[in-house]
Amino acid sequence: MNPNNALYSFGAILLGVVGISFHDFAMQWQPVPAGFPIRTPLAYVSGFILIAGGAALLSRKGERAGAWLLTAFLGLWTLTLNLPAAIASYTHIAAWNSPAEIAFMTMGGLALLSSSAGELRTTLARIARIVAGLSACVFGCAHFNYIDFTASMVPAWIPPSGVFWAWATGAGHLAAGLALVSGIRARLAATLLAGMMAAFVVLLHLPRVVAAPDSHVEWIMLGVSSMLAGAAWLIRKYAA
């Protein structure tokens, strides 16, 4: 097992299990229209693909196939579901946040693929780094634009205040994004970004799932945040 894949793999498997358990797609992260034909069976297929890809990453022999599967599948989400929805509401930064999250997750898989891509290694790593950086900039802008909502997500026991951390994490996303896009201190930026995102998993999303274990959206956010943190680590390892 490659320990660098662990959190990314966990997030993918969790999203798959959540999709199957709730008989549905991942809400705004997979905005499949309610009346879409055979929607529920397709949600099951989506769940099994995520589980298969995540599980394959746990094996040295299977990690390349798992990375291909997740990169292709998440890329398909981005191009067919998230990007059209964002373009339809292009003036609202919130419309770009979910596409940016899925794109960032996709770039984690691409970064892993780049490690065994031969002559294409540098090119794929650069694409992963730049797209991930642009996505992180979107995260930062979303934090700033919806500062009250972001602050409300911060546990009350964390000093000094939710508003402080909303601004601080927004600035962290933006700074890391600019570093990744420019290539200046990109490895340090990816390391710090991975740490910040992992902190979100432990301090924010795990407690919210414990507090509301029947909530579909809380389980999705735990899976998404885990994949984001795992993707940041893979970008740090292979693309920065």
Helix axes 186-199 and 162-182, enclosed angle (nearest 10): 150
Give the C-alpha separation, 31 to 26, whole Å: 7
Contact of 93 with 145, CB cutoff 8 Å: yes
Question: Band of the pLDDT at 105, cuts 50, 70, 90?
Answer: very high
Please check the confidence at residue 237 and state whether its pLDDT lies above 80: yes
First CA to last CA across the chain, in angstroms?
22
> 108 vs 34, which has greater pLDDT?
108
Give the C-alpha separation, 156 to 117, whole Å: 46
Q: What's the pLDDT score for residue 118?
A: 82
Whole-structure pTM value: 0.95
Our separate counts of H helices and E strands in the chain read 11, 0
* Residue 34, number of CB atoms within 10 A of its CB: 6
Which of the residue ranges 31-40, 100-109, 188-197 would you say has the lowest mean pLDDT? 31-40
Q: What's the pLDDT score for residue 144?
A: 94
Give the C-alpha separation, 67 to 55, whole Å: 10
Q: Where are the domains of the chain?
A: 3-238
CA dihedral 186, 191, 192, 196 (to 10 degrees): 130
Nearest C-alpha neighbor of 223 from the set 5, 19, 59: 19
Q: What's the pLDDT score for residue 116?
A: 85
Mean pLDDT over 1-14 rounds to 93
Q: What is the pLDDT of residues 54-96, one digit of tens each?
A: 999 999 889 999 999 999 999 998 898 888 888 888 888 888 9
Q: What's the pLDDT score for residue 35?
A: 87
Q: What's the pLDDT score for residue 91?
A: 82
Mean pLDDT over 213-238 rounds to 97
Which of the residue ranges 85-99, 150-164, 189-203 would you say has the lowest mean pLDDT? 85-99
Mean pLDDT over 22-36 rounds to 90
